[in-house]
Chain A
Amino acid sequence: MVDTTKNTKLFTSYGVTTSKAINPDMAAKMISKAKRPLLVVGSGVLKPELLDRAVKIAQKANLPIAATGHSHVGFLDKDVDAKYINVHQLGFYLTDPNWPGLDGKGNYDMVIVLEFKKYYINQVLSGTRNFSNLKAISIGRDYIQNATMSFGNISREDHYVALDELIDNL
């Protein structure tokens, strides 16, 4: 008997490439493997529960932080390397191999994004996905299709648990 259900790849509409949905342990593994990763946080990170976790992620994985939106204000008294940059500008600079980075040491090979409006970070990452080799890992509560890998859509409570698991695995 011929299996006629095997290959259902579409030819008529290519739609949008979707990211690989991952669990926190896999996200931690990917972050650990990156040569020059950057944690990119949006203003949503200013919720205390998230700010604490973002700081822990940055500290444990030794990640510099691109504090976009007005999130930078949350990191002033924290022991992390956080610098302000506009995320649309950042998205553009990430596609330029000559960008010296936030620290003057060159561009990044991975961004880990957290706490944005999903449509906004998704648009920014559509630029990096189509015009660079950057890897993007989304660890927010929304599934971000233009990331390389992303958490799925999860509740706020589950998101906190997922971030804690990620921290444990770093």
Chain B
Amino acid sequence: MSKLTTGSFSIEDLKDVQITINTIVGAAKEAAKAEDIGPMGPSPFPGLATYRDDWNLKLLDRYEPVITPMCDQCCYCTYGPCDLSNNKRGACGIDMAGHNGREFFLRVITGTACHAAHGRHLLDHLIETFGEDIPLDLGQSDVLTPNITITTGQSPKTLGEIKPAMEFAEEQLTQLLATVHAGQESAEIDYDSKALFSGSLDHVGMEISDIVQIAALDFPKADPEAPLIEMGIGTIDKEKPFLCVIGHNVAGVTYMMDYMEENELTDKVELGGLCCTAIDLTRYKEADRRPPYTKVVGSMSKELKIIRSGMPDVIVVDEQCVRGDIVPEAQKLNIPVIASNAKIMYGLPNRDNQDVDATIEELKSGAIPGCVILNYEKLGEISVRLAQEMHPIREAAGVREVASDEQMKEWVDKCADCGACYLACPIELDIPEAMKFAKEGNYSYLEDLHDACIGCRRCEQVCKKEIPILSVIEKASQKIIAEEKGWMRAGRGQVSDAEIRSEGLNLVMGTTPGIIAIIGCPNYSDCAKGVYYIAEEFLKRNYIVVGTGCGSMDMGMYKDENGETLYERFPGGFVSGGLVNIGSCVSNAHITGAAQKVAGIFGGRTMEGNLAEISDYILNRVGACGLAWGAFSQKASSIGTGCNIYGIPAVLGAHSSKYRRALIAKDYDESKWKVYDARNGEEMAIPPAPEFLLTTAETWQEATPMMAKACIRPSDNNLGRSIKLTHWMELHDKYIGGLPDDWWKFVRGEADIPLAKRAALMKILEEKHGWEIDWKRKKIISGPTIKFDVSAQPTNLKRLCKEA
């Protein structure tokens, strides 16, 4: 019997009958295995064990898991709770390390599931709306889906052709989730290997999410000139009705925008958002450059702050990174809440099947605090009309204003200085001290807390005097909030093939010192402005700074002495010294994608089903380092772990020590710092960088030189190494003080030494480290433990060596 193929056909003698076959189970895998589809690596459609021995365990041998448990016990099954302290084993047999490996892994697969589910929702919705044949027009590129291609071997060209990759990610997630059942996997190292695999799937899920919306919703397509978007609470016009959207999934918001545009309301209603929905609503239909009119209010930490400001007239939530107390908080200020995605329904009544006018009346009356509306046509109309109707009602009720001065004084005077708020504050703000000064009429200390405050209201929950401390901080900060106006570039999508071709050589040789990826959430341990300082420092030094999500927003919230934001000061292209806002959280796949494309397009490596070789290329040749400075979510852990499997290290803020697992190398163990030269299979020594794949830093000042150092790669040529050492050593001196203790370990010859201080540094090499210097020729005669060979092909994979 011949094999079935997809498509439509008729059967002879059966008049008016046409059979259409959309998908054949297993066909995609079969196709990937066929020989006639071009080069293919060893791992298309991988399973749980595929990457383990060939790549993951090699990574984990150098970058060892560092376990920092949250508590002593495991209460995962009914055998327990079990005391695992001092690495004891519980009743099921798992030890502390294994249990915490599982805890970290759970976070990674949760994040992976979030993005995969996001991708599935968008894919189904957009196929239903626009059809399967919408082409993946993502800009001027041939490599459209690097993460999908590396993982599955496939290169889909239309929405419909993405389905096999989506189904594959879902299937593997089920397999991964099964391993956490009590009595299954218990070895910490294998949870790490599985977490890395899950991380690679996460970038598939994110890639799907973003490319389908770019293609179908006309987002900017690899556009370095994507428009600048107004940002900040201060940009919201208080005189207009304000429709506030919160979450990550743009599907429903497009219907609000369509309704506003069809009814000429774009200048009459403010539509602004928080978190990634905000970024993506500014990308909708921006490929054809109609003037942007939607606003980005800010990151997740602004959710309660914007509600407490009283300004939103309606709040619509979708999915991911949405606070659990939106409804009770909004209810206090008569703000109706609409839940528009089945993942968050808040226990609200569903009004999908009710007449639009009746639902508006019901919400207007306050009979219900909000409702679920999953029908996007209705959502678009109801949310916009309701905002217009609620605006005068709320204005008249006096709930659109912050507290009065008298109210403020009354709150402050109630403070008993018990210190409970300090103990409860997750970022340890000295609220008692600020309250003490406020009692004396000095509100500046309270104002100083605003930027660092993550708006979690844990302080309020422990205040015995029931002072609404968040509102107190916000009231004291009205002046600076009014001035919170920034600019960010609308997310531009992928890095194009042409950009990779022009920067690839510079990145591999090190003459463009590195890619700095500033991503993630706003749970900062020092201040939101830290990401601005870090970005500015690297931009001025000609690194390529890419950003996504809340990190992209916070980089644009601050201005220099000329009143300009970073997005106004630096170009939006993937070029040395460029500030590239890739897009929302799901756009993170294009950051790994850019590094993968360097390996595939510039390095000429096969991408199809070839994760280990691509990752090996990136680890050894592409200087890139991520910064998730305020990572709070499970998604942040999966994004970071996806970067890790591809050989990209990431620095996280201090809070991220609570993820329980880091990956840090022993810089003193020389056996860990060897690779093979692929030309002949001989071992070659490399410098100890990057020293980590996932770790934390205490302050942004510490993180900055750490990241510069983490961009050093074995493949750097002399000029590249010299440039990278210059930046790292200058940043170390600026923020840490003095020379780093181990700078000499990176020197292979005199040409590697920073030019401006070459003679002085050679003197140190001679005197302190006993290196032999020929001062007449200004050459190093002996001393370096690593050699420079411009033709060397560093690899961690023995199988890629010629003799192998």
Contact = CB atoms under 8 A, between A and B. Distances in A.
Interface of A: 12-17, 42-43, 68-70, 72-73, 75-76, 83-84, 86-89, 91-93, 96, 98-100, 116-120, 123-124, 126-127, 129-131, 142, 153, 155
B698 A120 contact: yes
A14 B664 contact: no
B662 A84 contact: no
A37 B757 CA distance: 36
B737 interface: yes
Given A15-B72, A117-B428, A153-B423, A68 B85 contact: no
A88 B66 contact: yes
Contacts, number: 128
Given A13-B73, A14-B83, A130-B85, A120 B66 contact: no
A84 B81 contact: no
A118 B96 contact: no
Contact of A130 (B67, B81, B82, B736): B67
Given A14-B83, A88-B695, A69 B737 contact: no
25 contacts: A12-B81, A13-B75, A14-B83, A43-B698, A43-B701, A72-B736, A72-B737, A84-B736, A86-B706, A87-B698, A91-B66, A92-B66, A92-B662, A92-B664, A93-B668, A119-B426, A119-B654, A119-B658, A124-B657, A126-B69, A127-B66, A127-B67, A130-B87, A142-B428, A153-B419
B702 A89 contact: no
A126 B68 contact: yes
Contact of A96 (B83, B666, B692, B702): B666
A17 B737 contact: no
Contact of B737 (A76, A98, A119, A129): A76
A143 to B, nearest CB: 9
B496 interface: no
Given A86-B706, A120-B698, A73 B72 contact: no
Given A69-B699, A119-B426, A15 B525 contact: no
A86 B72 CA distance: 25
Given A13-B73, A14-B81, A100-B668, A84 B698 contact: no
A97 B73 CA distance: 26
A92 B657 CA distance: 12
Contacts of B775: none
Interface in B360-385: none
A14 B87 CA distance: 14
A129 B661 CA distance: 15
Interface in B712-740: 732, 735-738, 740
A88 B657 contact: yes
A71 to B, nearest CB: 8
Contacts of A124: 68, 657
Contacts of B696: 88, 120
A57 B665 CA distance: 31
Contact of B738 (A15, A43, A72): A72
B71 interface: yes
B747 to A, nearest CB: 19
A14 B441 CA distance: 47
B230 interface: no
Nearest to A100: B668
B78 interface: no
Q: How large is the interface on B (under 10, 10 to 19, 20 to 34, 35 or more residues)?
A: 35 or more
Nearest to B733: A73
Given A43-B702, A119-B426, A76 B738 contact: yes
Interface of B: 64, 66-73, 75, 81-83, 85-87, 96-97, 419, 423, 426-428, 525, 654-655, 657-658, 662, 664, 666, 668-669, 691-692, 695-699, 701-702, 706, 732, 735-738, 740-741
Which 5 interchain pairs have the tightest Cβ spacing?
A: A69-B698, A123-B657, A70-B701, A73-B737, A14-B83
Given A17-B72, A118-B428, A89 B664 contact: yes
B81 A42 contact: no
A83 B740 CA distance: 9
Most chain B beta-carbon neighbours within 10 Å: one of A42, A123, A153: A123
A14 B74 CA distance: 9
A83 B702 contact: no
A70 B97 CA distance: 30
B67 A120 contact: no
A117 B698 contact: yes
Nearest to B740: A84
A16 B72 contact: yes
A10 to B, nearest CB: 10
Given A14-B73, A84-B740, A130-B69, A69 B85 contact: no
Contacts of B68: 91, 123-124, 126-127
B657 A120 contact: yes
B498 to A, nearest CB: 38
Contacts of A15: 71-73
A152 to B, nearest CB: 12
Contacts of A43: 698-699, 701-702
A129 to B, nearest CB: 8
Most chain A beta-carbon neighbours within 10 Å: one of B64, B66, B83, B706: B66
A122 B544 CA distance: 35
B630 to A, nearest CB: 14
B79 to A, nearest CB: 13
B701 A126 contact: no
Contact of B697 (A73, A86, A99, A127): A86
A116 B526 CA distance: 12
Contacts of A69: 697-699, 701-702
A92 B736 CA distance: 21
B654 A117 contact: yes
Contacts of A99: 666, 668
Nearest to B697: A86
A2 B662 CA distance: 51
A67 B732 CA distance: 13
A91 B654 CA distance: 13
Given A14-B72, A119-B654, 7 more contacts: A16-B71, A86-B697, A86-B698, A92-B66, A120-B654, A120-B698, A126-B69
Contact of A86 (B83, B97, B423, B702): B702
Most chain B beta-carbon neighbours within 10 Å: one of A12, A16, A92: A92
